[in-house]
Chain A
């Protein structure tokens, strides 16, 4: 049995039929084909599946899809501007080489987007606290932190 879910995804109203206990990650990837959001640990530990629901980062792999009824959901696909122009945070990730294999990157981008929207002058310490729920196994966190710092310094976040 499926139920109707209506939410705004990256600014567009979407209505889909979902299973009662479906998680938001499955809805995004398998029904809306937004595969930028990654499935990592699948148990709310690694943060690869992070999306923003009504301003807060959530682990979409354990977030009930139907709890997003009426919500504003943002995924990594919503970050770039027209013609795929990277936004300042994405640009900073490239410039600072904060990406290696890239699997964790969408999650980091979404958590840091949520952080910078509420605190555009976040300190290293606040960045570390914000990304505690995101795991990167390639670069370590120094380059990621440097990417945020470059934005904070430019005041361009």
Chain B
């Protein structure tokens, strides 16, 4: 096997199209472990893109926030634009491993790995993000809710890489958060992760968005639960109905971390918690 470290995005894409045996490597916090544990073949050569500065960083223009695919979790949790406008991204990034993981792990790696527990997936789903992906001519755009195809499978075409994530800046009077339950506070894979976003006009919720990880083969939106909150004041009754619907929308499994029953219960609890927090924060009466 070989370790290839191209200096530019163009060179990386050329190498990818020339050779069929390359595994794209960003921070490596997932891929290296998968290689060591035999989930990925060690014969594969590595295409290390982690050093491509062009794909790292956050920018904002024309109501659009752009997050380079190689922006690290540490970058996200410290970036002013993200903390101010997309706090669920910062909160999710802050729950990925410890500092050592956050310093090298990237948002693009987290999303392209497509673990059912990917912490950054629920935030991009509630933010109506667009995945900007390399293509032969012009970059291709994939809506976030079509990106996750199956457990560890994405809509990213073979031989292409994720370039950036494009997120519309949220409207005024929007609250969003990422709530995660693990067995302990730090260094934990989510038993359930929930991103919630509520936008309000007057005293009513005009847009409700809920997305979860760790309760199905892919991260997913909870559209029926969202509908129960749209037009509401995030009152207890609406939240309880959303929670009830959500438990029917998820498809968790029993594994070494938790039972399906417990996960289903957590989804409902987290939705009610999110509604309560948002109601306080948005000062809905």
| Cβ B104 vs Cβ A58 within 8 A | yes
List, in ascending order, chain B residues with CB within 8 A of A62's CB. Answer: 28-29, 32-33, 36
A12 in contact (CB, < 8 A): no
| Cβ B187 vs Cβ A133 within 8 A | yes
| Cβ A20 vs Cβ B103 within 8 A | no
With A47-B98, A56-B104, A67-B51 as contacts: A42 and B3 at CB distance below 8 Å: no
**Total of A-B residue pairs, C-beta within 8 Å:** 87
B99 in contact (CB, < 8 A): yes
Within B30-65, the residues touching A (CB, 8 Å) are 32-33, 35-37, 42, 45-46, 48, 50-51
List, in ascending order, chain B residues with CB within 8 A of A130's CB. Answer: 99
Q: How many residues of A contact B (CB 8 A)?
A: 29
Listed residue (A44, A69, A111) with the most chain B CB atoms within 10 angstroms of its CB? A44
| Cβ A3 vs Cβ B32 within 8 A | no
Within A37-55, the residues touching B (CB, 8 Å) are 42-45, 47, 50
A132 in contact (CB, < 8 A): yes
Q: Mark B1-29, 1 if CB is under 8 A from A, else 0.
A: 11101000000000000000000010011
Give Cα distance in the complex from A20 to B23, angstroms. 13
Q: Mark B124-151, 1 if CB is under 8 A from A, else 0.
A: 0000000000000000000000000000
Residues of B whose CB lies within 8 Å of any CB of A are: 1-3, 5, 25, 28-29, 32-33, 35-37, 42, 45-46, 48, 50-51, 74, 97-101, 103-104, 185-187
A-B residue pairs in contact (CB < 8 Å), sample of 22:
A3-B2, A20-B45, A21-B35, A21-B42, A43-B33, A44-B29, A44-B32, A44-B100, A45-B187, A56-B74, A56-B103, A59-B29, A62-B33, A63-B104, A64-B3, A64-B28, A64-B48, A67-B28, A67-B50, A131-B98, A132-B186, A133-B186
